[in-house]
Structure 1
Amino acid sequence: TGGASLRTATRCKAPSASRSPSDRVEGLAPIDGWTGVAIAFKAAGYAAALLAIGGPLFLAAFPTAHADARQLARKIAVIAALIGMAVLATRFGIRAARISGMGLSGAVDPMMLGFVWNSPLGTAAIWRGVGELLIVALLIKGTIGLAAGLVGALLVALSYTFIGHSLGDPRWLLAALLTVHLLTAAFWVGALAPLRRAISLPEGASLLHRFGTVASVTVAFLVIVGLVFAWLMTGSLTELLTTAYGWTLIAKLAAVSGLMILATLNKWWLVPALASGAPEAAGHLRRSIQFEAFAVLLILIVTAVLTSITTPPVNL
């Protein structure tokens, strides 16, 4: 994250009165071929991070869940952590290529890679890499592996506070909001596959019900924290509606709203139907969770666009 914000860090915010309405539709960075590659790998990194963080959170929250569901959560988290490290390494080359303007040769240029390493992305990479290595320790079953995984999950979440839009003011508040936002989102995302597996397992309806109860609280935090963060980045309804950042954020909120509708459908209709033994409930619930996964993917892509080529109005 942070490509757009780094390019605008030294810009002074122009008084809103000096800009015409058409001028205020701004904050969009130049787009080229490497931009699309950067967005794709950033979205992949987000997905890997959320799945890696979500695994240990699921294991800690549901210690009595069926062994098959827990094993799936552990497996996905470890694979996601390994993929996350590979994506992170690739992003160094992509960033070097973009800032150098040299294309592929810039992606492997030692001087440019050193420049990227000494940037905030390098600091974030250290925290995230260590965190993902600790998450791999989930392969060690028991308290030690889970404890290492939970510490790793926190480090991965914190790594995102060293880059991107959270570098603004108030720094401590933005960092805290982003960390909570990531942890709550990861809890949800990391649970999707284990919950889908649990549908056909003994006591699966019970696990789904317990998840719905816990998620009711975490989703409230997710929404509140996200809205506060968005307000701090935009500052006003006018800026929300007249900047590239604002319109991209609206697209993200629309996707999140769709995800919330699916979650509500699951909690109040499909999970109770599964618990009552309704014959078609299992199939409907599996499809609903699949749609949730697609919604999450869309949200991550929009978020990657938001943090790659748009600048928050407060930085304009």
Structure 2
Amino acid sequence: MILTEFEILALLSKWGIYLSVAAVIGGAFMLALTRPQPDEGTYLRDYFGFGAVFGLLSITVNFFVQVGSFAEDGLQGMLGQQMLLFIWQTPVGDALAWRLAGFSLALLGSRWLFHSGLGLSRIANALLMVSVIVLGASFSLIGHSTEMNIWAQGLIALHILVIGSWLGSFYPLWHMCSDTALSDLKHTMDKFGQLGIVIVSLVLATGGALVWMLFNHPMELIDSDYGRAILLKLSLIMVILLIAALHKFILVPRLDSPQSSDAEHSARIKLKRSIATEAVIGALILSVTVMLSSLLGPVSLS
């Protein structure tokens, strides 16, 4: 399969959207999990801000690329007024509007997150909560979901929220391995491990339900390109689960009262490297998801 320039740009910008959504949702999850003090949570504020700005850039590029692709008139077609208006009135435009609102709210909330005024801080948390819901819901407005019933669209939104909470938490956890007190790091990793069981259960349950709805027959998982891509995504999730088990049973327990500073440093580094590996696999999962939503489609909707 030879991709055109517009298709490559569309894939890259959509991958950017997914990364940004994960950053905002995962950042909100870690904010609720750790409840950091202002001097401790600067990295989370920056994480929100980066996710929001990168998301706004990605959705803008993605929209104009889709306009240009429909216009079939090269770069000039990206700015055609009639085609811009036409695409804006489709589900693509609806999703863009929701994501513009979601990322804008996240950016605004990140600026006020640790403001000294208690009122602004509460408003910031409310804005971040709304942005998470809006971004999750935006995925039910576009792609294969538009051809599915309301229950499937709700499952898609829930799936985005839970998998975003999971994958988007890797950077904050990676950062904490360097700058957080050992007891706090151990406490956070323990809580994340406990909540991770619920998150993973929801990821598998919502994903499994969607697969059940999308396929007419189990053999389509093997016989179709879409099915094989689903299996690849599932395999990558299984690898992350194995790494999570490594954290829970080996790496995190080593944080409990190390015998020396060298032992503590070694335990932190090993955990940090393992989380970085998880993050890379998470990025691969999002890449497969981009391919599923852009280039492939289930037989049931073909």
TM-score under structure 2 normalisation? 0.89
Describe the SS at the equivalent of 1:86: helix
Indicate the residue corresponding to 1:160 in structure 2.
139
Q: Quote the residue 2:122 is aligned against.
A: 143
Answering whether residue 179 of structure 2 is matched by residue 193 of structure 1, we say no
Equivalent positions of 1:29-108 (< 5 A) are 31-63=3-35, 65=36, 70-108=41-79
Q: Distance in 1 between matches of 2:278 and 2:38?
A: 23
2:284 corresponds to: 298
SS of equivalent to 1:277: coil
Gaps of 5+ in 1: 1-28
Q: Is the 8 A contact 2:27 2:172 kept in 1?
A: no
Percent identity, please.
Answer: 27
The yes-or-no answer on 1:269 pairing with 2:241 is no
Deviates more, 1:130-139 or 1:148-157: 130-139
Shift of 1:302: 0.9
Unmatched 5+ stretches in structure 2: 115-120
Alignment partner for residue 294 of structure 2, among 278, 291, 308?
308
Question: What is the identity, as a one-letter code, of the residue corresponding to 1:97?
Answer: G
Of 87, 100, 105, the match for 1:129: 100
Query: What is the SS of the residue equivalent to 1:237?
Result: coil
CA contact (8 A) 1:166 1:175 kept: yes
Correspondence for 1:245: 226
Give me the whole-angstrom Cα distance separating, in 1, the residues matched to 2:40 and 2:173: 7
Cα displacement (A) at 1:35:
1.6
The whole-number CA distance in structure 2 between the counterparts of 1:66 and 1:273 is 26
1:235 match: secondary structure = coil
CA distance in 2, matches of 1:277, 1:70: 26
Is 1:205 the counterpart of 2:186? The answer is: yes
- Counterpart of 2:208 in structure 1 is 227
Once the two structures are superposed, residues 237-290 of structure 1 have per-residue CA deviations (whole angstroms, 9 ceiling, x without a partner) of 121112221111122112111111111211221111122427222111111111
How many corresponding residue pairs? 286
How far apart in 1 are the matches of 2:174 and 2:3? 38
| d(CA) in 2 for partners of 1:73, 1:67 | 10
Q: Distance in 2 between matches of 1:165 and 1:297?
A: 22
CA distance in 1, matches of 2:39, 2:188: 12
Which residue identity does 2:13 align to in structure 1? F
How has the CA–CA distance of structure 1 residues 46 and 150 changed in structure 2, closer, same or farther, with 3 Å as cutoff? same
Contact 2:9 2:62 in 1 (8 A): no
Which segment is superposed worse, 239-248 or 155-164? 239-248
Q: Distance in 1 between matches of 2:127 and 2:57?
A: 20
Quote the offset at 1:190 in angstroms: 2.5
Instruction: Kindly indicate whether the alpha-carbon contact (under 8 Å) linking 1:206 and 1:275 is maintained by their aligned counterparts in 2.
Output: no
Q: Deviations over 1:60-107 (max 9, x none)?
A: 2332x4656533222111211111111111111110121222221111
Choose which of 83, 93, 96 in structure 2 pairs with 1:112.
83
1:138 shift after superposition: 2.5
**What is the CA deviation profile of residues 136-185 of structure 1, one whole-angstrom value per residue up to 9, with x for unaligned ones?**
1122132211111011110011011100121223x211111111111111
Superposed CA RMSD: 1.8
Deviation at 1:51, TM superposition (A): 0.5
Structure 1 residues 262 and 67, CA gap change in structure 2 (3 angstroms): farther
What is the TM-score when the length of structure 1 is the normalising length?
0.85
Equivalent residue letter for 1:128: R
Q: Contact conserved, 2:33 with 2:188, CA < 8 A, in 1? A: no
Q: Is the 8 A contact 1:56 1:135 kept in 2?
A: no
